[in-house]
Chain A
Amino acid sequence: MSSTEKDDYDVAIQKALKASIGAILQMIGFEAANPIALSTLTEMLRSYLTEIGKQAKMICEAANRTEPIISDISLALIEMGNDITKIEDFSKRPMRLVNFDQATSTTKPPMKTLRVGQRPDMPGYVPSYLPSFPDPHTYMSRQPDPPSHGTYAELREKAASQKRDVERALTTLIAKTGETDLIFEDDPLAFPLIANAKQPLPYIDALLPKEYDTVTSEETGTDANSDNPYLRPIKMPQLKKKGKTFIPIK
């Protein structure tokens, strides 16, 4: 138990005891209590109860048990000089106050132990109070399970959610880190829209989508042997101008 949890536990007990003391004082006839007096009384009650617990524990251990039963507590009370026959009367007293807001500490459920495989059911002849079988792989040899499949629908669901989560996380990240366009002027954080950036050559993205792999595209289009005028080499200029070309007089 971590230290903070222990503190929480203490505080809760403290609270409950304080409330009980308050209730008892009210029952007796007090109208108000000094905080110091109240805490002193609470402390007394606490040590008293602790003492009962210790006694009960000792008695139960003396009887070779680990957990005290009701008779251990009765014995402990008697040891400390109480008349236990009066407890019943006390509990049925006329001016009994019920403490409503008892602070409860949130106790966490015990950690689940990792279970592997299906534990076999108990056979009928084994008493039910005996502990259940451990996980099968711990005591018998068996083939590993085929990977868990789930139905087709579940798988699709899982894949779709995963894809969507990735997409959403990515777009949100970009939207939050970059500039955005506003859909709602009053709430810039709702539906962040990545701002539209101008592109110098917008056609490249639009015509060559990233999803299209350009691996297949390198074709042997330019066959050097084919008689196409654009494949011919560039000629060197002739020093003598042809008759046809005419240079205008500037």
Chain B
Amino acid sequence: MMSDDIILSTENLTKEFAGFTAVNGIDLKVRRGTIHALIGPNGAGKTTFFNLLSKFLSPTRGRIMFKGRDITAMAPADVARRGLVRSFQISAVFPHMSVLENVRIALQRSRGSSFDFWRSASALNRFNARAMQLIDDVGLTSFADCAAVELPYGRKRALEIATTLALEPEMLLLDEPTAGMGHEDIERIAQLIKRVAVERTVLMVEHNLSVVADLSDHITVLTRGQVLAEGDYAAVSNNADVREAYMGVGHD
């Protein structure tokens, strides 16, 4: 039954850009229901790896299995429909739509009526209650009617997470969810991730090591497109290779 526990796995996943190998033969297994952190120095290939998983890039070689199915050749929208939804390193919102409208767009997709061009947009009001719940969960209630573009950075990330959660994905890919945030926002987002991960799987790229230590069940360290080490926080942080590559601390 061991394999049923694995929600996402990659085999020899590789991406080459004009001769430069950004992701180099990665074998990764993510267990269902865990928070799995992906760490590594800038340029290690973390974002590229996420782009491969969400099918925004096609791999040069290798295979991706999600929920027991090969999704290597799937279109990105279809991967999202199967329950693997990503966020972006550069916060992705619909800038000139309100916070409420941003979340509703996601609800609308998963609950139908997206093709109805003959109906009034007021048909979307039936999603308002659920949207407000999600907005409340990320602490944006008082911003519901603001245009997303007017939100401070940290709140934009929160909105992005609320929008992602509206799809009720089985698995989330979060690319540096706390990057560029102040202390308070980091704490709030970390708590939020912890809460949503109770019934989901999370794979996240994160630079803030205290967030990683606090949240993750399992850690994979990447350098130069390859897996350097894996394990829980204690194991990884005591790994000599990791200390050298990641923290600039040499072998004893």
Partners in one complex: no
Chain A positions near chain B (C-beta within 8 angstroms)? none
